[in-house]
A and B are shown apart, each in its own frame.
Chain A
Amino acid sequence: MTETAEALERRIDRLRVAVRQAVLAGDRERASALRHELKQAEQAWEDVLAGTAPGTASLPDVPAAEGAGPLLPLREQVHEALSLLTVPAAPRLIATVHEAFFATAFPSSRLTSLKRDEERSFRTAPFARPYYICAALTADRLAPARGLLAVSTWPMERRVIGSLSPRVDFLTAAIQIANANDRLPAPVPAARRLLWRFAASIPGTASNATQMDPKAVTQAAHAELAVHRAADTAARTAAARQARDQLDDAAQLFGTRLDVRHQRRGAR
Chain B
Amino acid sequence: MTATEARLARIRGRAVPRSHNARTIAALASNPGCARRAIMDAAAVDKQRIAAYAGFPAPFGQSGFAFARGNAFEAQVKASGGAELLALLREHLNLPIPEAHYDDLSEVGGNASLDLRHAETRNKLGRAAGDGTDRGTMFDHPLLRLEVGGRHAYLEPDLIAFQLNGKFHVIEIKSFAVIDGHADSDKVAAAAIQSAVYVMALRQALAELGVGPEAVADETILVCPGISPTGPSWRRGSPGGRGRHWARITASSMAIEAPWAVDGDAAWAASPTTIMEWLCHIGSMGMS
Contact = CB atoms under 8 A, between A and B. Distances in A.
Contacts of A167: 81, 83, 86, 100-102
Contact of B104 (A146, A208, A260, A263): A146
Name A's interface SS.
loop
Interface stretch (A22-30, A39-47, A136-144): A136-144
Contact of B79 (A90, A144, A145, A263): A90
A115 interface: no
A110 interface: no
B263 interface: no
A166 interface: yes
B107 A268 contact: no
A200 B86 CA distance: 11
B55 interface: no
Given A260-B113, A266-B114, A268-B17, A166 B82 contact: yes
Name B's interface SS.
mixed
A219 interface: no
Interface string B232-268: 0000000000000000000000000000000000000
A10 interface: no
B113 A227 contact: no
Interface string A154-193: 0000000001111101100100000000000000000000
Interface string B51-82: 00000000000000000000000010001111
Nearest to B153: A268
Contact of A141 (B83, B84, B109, B154): B109
A217 to B, nearest CB: 13
B105 to A, nearest CB: 10
Q: Taking each of A141, A198, A231, which has the highest tally of chain B beta carbons within 10 Å of its own beta carbon?
A: A141
A260 B107 CA distance: 13
Given A141-B108, A258-B116, A266 B82 contact: no
B84 A201 contact: yes
A141 B120 CA distance: 12
Nearest to A209: B229
A170 B118 CA distance: 28
Given A167-B86, A266-B154, A200 B97 contact: no
Contacts of A228: 98, 100
B114 A143 contact: no
B80 A170 contact: yes
B189 interface: no
A268 B19 contact: yes
Given A201-B84, A268-B19, A163 B101 contact: yes
Contact of B114 (A144, A201, A258, A265): A265
A267 B19 CA distance: 10
B226 interface: no
Contacts of B229: 208-209
A145 to B, nearest CB: 8
Interface string B102-131: 111011111101111010000000000000
Interface in A218-268: 224, 227-228, 231, 255-260, 263-268
Given A90-B79, A257-B110, A258-B109, A163 B103 contact: yes
B187 interface: no
A63 interface: no
A259 B108 CA distance: 10
Contacts of A260: 111, 113, 116
Q: Taking each of A93, A145, A165, A200, which has the highest tally of chain B beta carbons within 10 Å of its own beta carbon?
A: A200
B118 A166 contact: no
Contacts of B102: 163-164, 166-167
A164 B109 contact: no
B109 A201 contact: no
B37 interface: no
10 contacts: A143-B109, A143-B111, A146-B104, A164-B102, A165-B81, A169-B80, A170-B80, A198-B83, A202-B87, A260-B111
Interface of A: 90, 92-93, 138, 141, 143-146, 163-167, 169-170, 173, 198, 200-203, 208-209, 224, 227-228, 231, 255-260, 263-268
Interface of B: 17, 19, 75, 79-84, 86-87, 90, 97-98, 100-104, 106-111, 113-116, 118, 136, 151-154, 229-231
Which 9 pairs across A and B sit closest by C-beta, in order of nearness?
A166-B81, A258-B109, A266-B114, A257-B110, A141-B109, A167-B100, A143-B110, A163-B101, A201-B83
